[in-house]
Structure 1
Amino acid sequence: MSTHMPPVTEQDASSAAAPAHPPRTDRRGALGGVLLLIGVALAAANMRPAVTSLASVLGEVRDSLGASTTWASAVTSVPTLCFGVAGIAAPLLARRLGSGRVIAVSLAVLTAAMALRVLNGPWTVLGGTVLVCAAIAMCNVLVPVVVKESFPNRVGMATSLYTTAMAAGGALGSTLTPMLNSATGSWRLSLGTWLVLALAALVVWVPATARSGRTAAPAAPAEPGRSMLRSPLAWVITGYFAMQSLVAYVVMGWLPEVFKGAGIDAGTAGALLGFLLLVGVPINMVLPSLVTRSRSQSGWAAGLAVLTITGMLGLLLVPTTAPWLWALIIGVGMSAFPLALVLLSLRTASAADTARLSAMAQSVGYLIASVGPFLFGVLHDLTGAWSSSLLVVVAVVVVQGIIGTVAGRPRTV
């Protein structure tokens, strides 16, 4: 952004170094930065409601459409699968169009797809969910890049805002959708309501990127010869991202059904998932800043894994004894996600490297993670219980903790 200025004469040159008032461009730039932060928060708030809202009424949707359990397993796998596939295209589009424009188009697609998926039968729901998750995938990859580029000295603060908004959106999606379903008697209306949030993000994002001028332009060409695929550390971080994503989307896709299987009513089961995600809101506000102040993040990764394992074992062994406690512990443990996002920035030396690592971690990581929700449902069908599925998740979290300990050691790719 630039403003035409008159030529500086010899008479006023002496006073140019100390202007009486801040330049107008500085004030407009600051306002653009604040608006961009709001846009980041609203974009992040849309990352999970599309998933958690459907999970909270999945049984009702399946029964209403006469769909099979295999269909339900496929629907729960769609988010991570789409995140992986669509995430590959995000950096390519960003280099041509700019991160800001790609995110704007993605928010427009998300708004339309949220309406589309509630219009017809099971294949329309599945197809609409594919489009929804593809749009979210673009934002997943590019919003951390926007944070790195636009707020290089406040990565912890901006990441806190981003992850807090994401957690809050997911919690609202899980908690409010069953209430809306009960109030309206229509799962279609209760799911479709969430397009309003996507539209709000779009309305703010477009002027925010235009005013700030920081993310509207196409990104600089990638440095030649740089490939994250050749970096062992990049693969370690990708593995960590994959494991925590697998666990997160199993929880977001299936936890209400696990609680229902234990004899808990549908409303309470949805509220438990909402509570679990809500727990992440205050943690996400402070964790990224705390993590960035630590020389090593290994202890954080190990501690979060231990918490998740504890909650999962409680859910496995005594699910109805203290369901709110298990939800609380798992919710804290799932703060591995903001830790993974921070690692993308801490383990890279430039925005270009952050973009490359983010694309690799999220595309490959989500493709690996997509196996989790599908396998979780299939194991339940084969065994008639959730025990085997939960034991597999516990094993995955053990691996997550080990990989996270390695990824947390201070160095860059």
Structure 2
Amino acid sequence: MASMSTSRGRVLVGASIILLALNLRVAVGSVGVVMSSLQEDLGLSPTAAGLLTTLPMVCFAVFGLATDSIVRRIGLHRTVVLALIAITIGLALRAFADGPALFFAMSFLALSGAALGNVSLPPLVKVHFPDRIALMSALFGAALMGSGTISSLVSVPVSQGPGGWRLAVGMWAGLAAITLLPWLRLIGHDVKTKIGGAGGLPASAVIRSPLTWAMLLCFGAQSGGAYAQFGWFAQILADGGVDATTAGLMLSLLTAVGMPMTLALPWLIRRWGQTPLLPLCFGGVTTMGWLGVLVAPSQAPAAWAVLLGLGGGAFTWVLAMIGYRTRTAAGTSTLSAMTQGPGYLVGAISPFFTGLLHDLTGSWNASLIMLACAGVIIAITGTYIARSGPLESRI
């Protein structure tokens, strides 16, 4: 592989990072669309199917927190290799499952690899593209979004062919195996980040940093809102008088708006810099979108979907800020783990509480007010992040 300091080397590394991101949602996206077939063939109960849909967020939270320790022990590139090996084996072997136990075990393995990859992306960008953080964050953010969408779209027709659901969920192991090849070459240029010790960052001090908590709350509020959208947005619109077909299309519109918003992030950061304007806008349109659904769900559902889709730009913005608010790969790795691990846990429980509030109150009003408040949290914590100095200067 070309030297990573050359233009060709940087292009190859950049492509490898984008390929990595493309693998991090296929274990999720390829399952939901074939769930009925899985239940029938593997004998999955409704409870087991529910656990399977929750498993990704649990893995992202638990293994997200563990990623920094793994990076310190074996290096950043080796962590990526480990992640891709886990994804490859997990995706391949769960296609041969003859019962729930093996399918759950291999899904757990693939998702744990995806969790390692999630947290590794910001420090990879910090190490290899410190001068292009916004651009690379936007590209891998778009790849993450595309990963789930593409795997869902492609898995449906494949599952209806001769290979059935097994080919639909197993074929993505090929993508992971291909992605693994350039990363095996990059092991020779590995990077270890040391937390603690001489020149390192004490983990206890990082945990106490207000910047860490602002990052965690901002990412958690965005993640929680996003997964509530995926789980309940269409149903909320339908209960508000929108026909079921249109409600489903509104969810698709919301998701579609997120892609160009993410790709526009480098220009937005270049235009307004690292000022509070962007998080205030992301939080503001998120709150406006949920309040619109609360007040007039059937009058302008497309407008609410667009507003919420634009608010989703907070996801990539926070990931970019992980790189901007740290000086070293060590700081980026630690902040990424402490932001994404707990943040995804919030994402896992948010749809549950959204539904619980509905069941307790008999309407969606309390749930929608809670989700609108998430936009306020994004605005407040994002403003603090935008005005903050580097993590290393605050501990």
TM-score by length of 1: 0.79
Match of 1:19 in 2: none
The amino acid of 1:112's aligned partner reads I
* Counterpart check, 1:165 vs 2:139: no
CA contact (8 A) 1:91 1:355 kept: yes
Match of 2:214 in 1: 236
Alpha-carbon offset, residue 401 of structure 1? 2.7
CA distance in 2, matches of 1:89, 1:202: 21
Q: 2:79 aligns with which of 77, 102, 105?
A: 102
CA distance in 2, matches of 1:352, 1:29: 24
Match of 1:48 in 2: 25
Instruction: Provide closer, same or farther for how the CA distance between residues 206 and 398 of structure 1 changes in structure 2, counting only shifts above 3 A.
Output: same
- The number of equivalent residue pairs is 384
Instruction: Provide closer, same or farther for how the CA distance between residues 328 and 199 of structure 1 changes in structure 2, counting only shifts above 3 A.
Output: farther
Q: 2:62 aligns with which of 68, 71, 85?
A: 85
The amino acid of 2:172's aligned partner reads W
Match of 2:192 in 1: 218
CA distance in 1, matches of 2:235, 2:31: 12
Supply the RMSD in Å over aligned alpha carbons: 3.5
Alpha-carbon offset, residue 363 of structure 1? 2.1
- 1:182-261 alignment to 2 at 5 Å? 182=160, 186-207=164-185, 209-210=186-187, 214=189, 216-220=190-194, 222=196, 223-224=199-200, 226=202, 227-253=205-231
Match of 1:21 in 2: none
CA distance in 2, matches of 1:27, 1:404: 33
CA distance in 2, matches of 1:139, 1:403: 25
Match of 1:18 in 2: none
Moved more, 228-237 or 256-265: 256-265
- 1:240-319 alignment to 2 at 5 Å? 240-253=218-231, 264=244, 269=248, 273=251, 275-291=253-269, 294-315=272-293
Instruction: Provide closer, same or farther for how the CA distance between residues 343 and 26 of structure 1 changes in structure 2, counting only shifts above 3 A.
Output: closer
Encode CA deviations 1:189-236: one digit per residue, 9 max, x unaligned: 3333333332332233323x25xx54x243456434633112112211
CA distance in 1, matches of 2:294, 2:35: 21
CA contact (8 A) 2:287 2:374 kept: no
CA distance in 1, matches of 2:293, 2:254: 13
CA contact (8 A) 1:171 1:278 kept: no
* Counterpart check, 1:130 vs 2:108: yes
CA distance in 2, matches of 1:153, 1:184: 48
CA distance in 1, matches of 2:244, 2:99: 28
CA distance in 1, matches of 2:109, 2:65: 15
CA distance in 2, matches of 1:274, 1:177: 17
CA distance in 1, matches of 2:34, 2:292: 24
* Counterpart check, 1:36 vs 2:13: yes
Unaligned runs of 5+ in 2: none
Moved more, 55-64 or 329-338: 55-64
Alpha-carbon offset, residue 327 of structure 1? 3.7
CA distance in 1, matches of 2:98, 2:361: 32
Unaligned runs of 5+ in 1: 2-24
Instruction: Provide closer, same or farther for how the CA distance between residues 351 and 67 of structure 1 changes in structure 2, counting only shifts above 3 A.
Output: same
Overall identity of the aligned pairs, in % = 33
Encode CA deviations 1:20-50: one digit per residue, 9 max, x unaligned: xxxxx76984322211111100111122233
CA distance in 2, matches of 1:308, 1:293: 21
CA distance in 2, matches of 1:386, 1:72: 25
CA contact (8 A) 1:171 1:274 kept: no
CA distance in 2, matches of 1:310, 1:62: 39
Moved more, 45-54 or 141-150: 45-54
Match of 1:150 in 2: 128
Alpha-carbon offset, residue 244 of structure 1? 1.1
Alpha-carbon offset, residue 323 of structure 1? 5.2
Alpha-carbon offset, residue 148 of structure 1? 0.3
CA distance in 2, matches of 1:123, 1:87: 24
The amino acid of 1:54's aligned partner reads V
CA distance in 2, matches of 1:274, 1:250: 14
Alpha-carbon offset, residue 120 of structure 1? 3.9
Instruction: Provide closer, same or farther for how the CA distance between residues 260 and 47 of structure 1 changes in structure 2, counting only shifts above 3 A.
Output: farther
CA distance in 1, matches of 2:122, 2:174: 23
Alpha-carbon offset, residue 383 of structure 1? 6.9
Match of 2:91 in 1: 114
CA distance in 2, matches of 1:178, 1:320: 30
Encode CA deviations 1:248-304: one digit per residue, 9 max, x unaligned: 2333455566678765359x93x7655533332222222145225534432211211
Q: Secondary structure at the match of 2:387?
A: coil
The amino acid of 2:88's aligned partner reads T
CA distance in 2, matches of 1:63, 1:324: 36
CA distance in 2, matches of 1:92, 1:163: 24
Alpha-carbon offset, residue 242 of structure 1? 1.4
